[in-house]
Amino acid sequence: MKKHALRLGLPIFAAGLFVLWGATKVDYDHHADFSRYHTYSWIKAEAGDQLWADRIMRAVDNELQAKGWQKVPSGGDAAVAAYGSVHNQKNLETYYNGFGGGWFWRGWGDGMATTTVENVPVGSLNVDIFDANTKKLVWRGSGSDTLSGKPEKNEKKLDHRVAEIFEHFPPKSKG
């Protein structure tokens, strides 16, 4: 019984840490020649409000320009779209008191278990880059991180997560 519960509980615990510590993921068209993209234009940036949409655009602009890409108002080689959202991740905390009782406990008494549910806000961001001529998606980066109640801290987390998303951008050509 103990092994079975541990086998089920460990992946759930690890998944929770993955979300709480933040995560990034990147995928791209392995046949796309990223060396031919030098300019980009924005399609749109969406978030909970315009302040965050502007912050997302600014963070992505900083990373793309650091990689040598130039932002143009329209007609870029690539087109960029970003979507940010916030959702609540449920975090369960169980506390045991007394002797005995509980799922794995052996002993005397009627131990009590108390479980509390905490909603942890998690911000998610997807950044898509399209070939402007073919309108085909050529690169997608995504990231998530827990949020605090302070916009300044969240903006630093956004900048850090966007830097991680673009860490290995542009992908090297396979040819």
> Is the model's pLDDT at 15 over the cut of 80?
no
Q: Can you give the pLDDT at residue 3? A: 46
> Is the model's pLDDT at 42 over the cut of 50?
yes
Domain limits of the chain?
2-165
| Cβ neighbours of 144 (radius 10 Å) | 24
pLDDT by residue (tens digit) across 63-96?
999 999 999 999 999 999 999 998 888 888 887 7
Q: Please report, for residues 60, 125, 142, the alpha-carbon distance to residue 120 in angstroms, rounded to integers and kept in the order given.
A: 25, 16, 19
pLDDT by residue (tens digit) across 108-147?
555 677 888 888 889 999 999 999 999 999 999 999 999 9
Q: What is the sign, positive or negative, of the torsion defined by CA atoms of 12, 14, 19, 25?
A: negative
Instruction: Answer whether CATH 3.30.160.670 is correct for domain 2-165.
Output: yes
Contacts of 45 (CB under 8 A, 6+ apart): 53, 54, 56, 57, 60, 81, 82, 83, 84
The residue count of the chain comes to 175
